[in-house]
Amino acid sequence: MSKLLLLVALTATAFSLFTVQANNHKNRLTVVVYDYPPDIVNSATNPEGPFIEKLQSITNAADLQIDWLRTNMSMESTMLDQGDRPFCTTGRAYSNERAKKWRFIPYLFSSLSTEFIIARKENLSTLQKLGSIRALTANQNFIGAFVKGGYYVDGTQKTLNMQQTWLQDIALSEEHALRLVTAGRADYTILPSATWKAMRSQSEQFSVLSSIHFAAKNESPVLLTCSKALPEKIFLKLSGAMAKLGFEKFEP
């Protein structure tokens, strides 16, 4: 029975990847989607939220129909790195390093909001005394849980790239990172303020957690991001639509 289930799973995966390849021809665009509250909710059924509305206005102007591909942020990053499947995302933070493998549509789609430290309530006062996100991530006495393939501002990403053992990019999503902290498997995580507020209000399981807000945060530009395999014709349609709709031009 297990062999049969494995065969079914492999067949479904192969069909899914074929669909990604096929749907980007003509006037269809495959877009990866997952919950990212409050900007994206109900991704498993009928995606909605500010990012979805903004994206749909762009695809409508570009005369493209969306085929949703449901996954998580970690898998999305892996697919972008591989660059062999034509698709776009609902927006990712820009960096020069990412631009080497990912293709960013050069118009400002959004920006990352102020980041909060999220920890269990009994640990807040200890972490608060460190005074900044940079001091916290440099302290090996505290384990941080981060989203694999995510992006963090205020120098956090640079520290994370150093692959320190106490900074663990093992979470598949923001919700997964919160669950790790809730369970005591990590001391803290870092989330955009809007995402934390939305998740806190939606789930009682995070009632044991609270947040720390350190001042002087920098915003990071968020652009629509596509794989290198996206056909040039579709990329130009999306770029032209964003220009027509008045999105601000992005200059790295």
Quote the distance between the C-alpha of residue 200 and its chain's center.
18
Secondary element (H or E) of residue 209:
strand 209-212
Return the pLDDT at 25.
57
User: How far is 188 from 118, CA to CA, in rounded Å?
Assistant: 5
The arithmetic mean of pLDDT across residues 82-99, rounded, is 94
User: How far is 40 from 68, CA to CA, in rounded Å?
Assistant: 13
Share of the chain above pLDDT 70, in %: 87
Which residues make Cβ contacts (< 8 Å) with residue 110, sequence separation at least 6? 39, 51, 54, 91, 222
Q: How many CB atoms lie within 10 A of CB 244?
A: 11
The arithmetic mean of pLDDT across residues 149-169, rounded, is 83
pLDDT (tens digit per residue) in 44-69: 898 999 999 999 999 999 999 999 99
In this prediction, residue 7 has a pLDDT band, given cuts at 50, 70 and 90, of very low
The arithmetic mean of pLDDT across residues 9-24, rounded, is 46
In this prediction, residue 217 has a pLDDT band, given cuts at 50, 70 and 90, of low
CATH architecture under which domain 115-212 falls: 3-Layer(aba) Sandwich (3.40)
CATH architecture under which domain 2-112+220-244 falls: 3-Layer(aba) Sandwich (3.40)
Return the pLDDT at 187.
96
- In the chain, the largest separation of any two C-alpha atoms, in whole Å, equals 57
User: How far is 114 from 195, CA to CA, in rounded Å?
Assistant: 10
Q: Which segments within the chain are labelled E, that is strand?
A: 28-33, 65-70, 92-93, 103-111, 115-120, 144-147, 167-171, 188-192, 209-212, 221-226
pLDDT (tens digit per residue) in 218-234: 567 899 999 999 999 99
Return the pLDDT at 192.
85
pTM confidence score: 0.70
Cα-based angle 206, 117, 53 (whole degrees, multiple of 5): 75
Average pLDDT value for the chain: 86
Please determine whether the domains at 2-112+220-244 and 115-212 fall in the same fold group of CATH. yes
Q: Say if CB 117 and CB 110 are below 8 A apart.
A: no
Return the pLDDT at 158.
80
Q: Which of 35, 83, 24, 34 is nearest to 59 (CA)?
A: 24
The arithmetic mean of pLDDT across residues 75-79, rounded, is 95
pLDDT (tens digit per residue) in 113-125: 678 899 999 999 8
The arithmetic mean of pLDDT across residues 81-103, rounded, is 94
Domain ranges of the chain: 2-112+220-244, 115-212
Rg of the Cα trace of the chain? 19
Q: Does residue 30 or residue 214 have the better pLDDT?
A: 30
Which residues make Cβ contacts (< 8 Å) with residue 93, sequence separation at least 6? 112, 151, 153, 220, 221, 222
Return the pLDDT at 185.
95
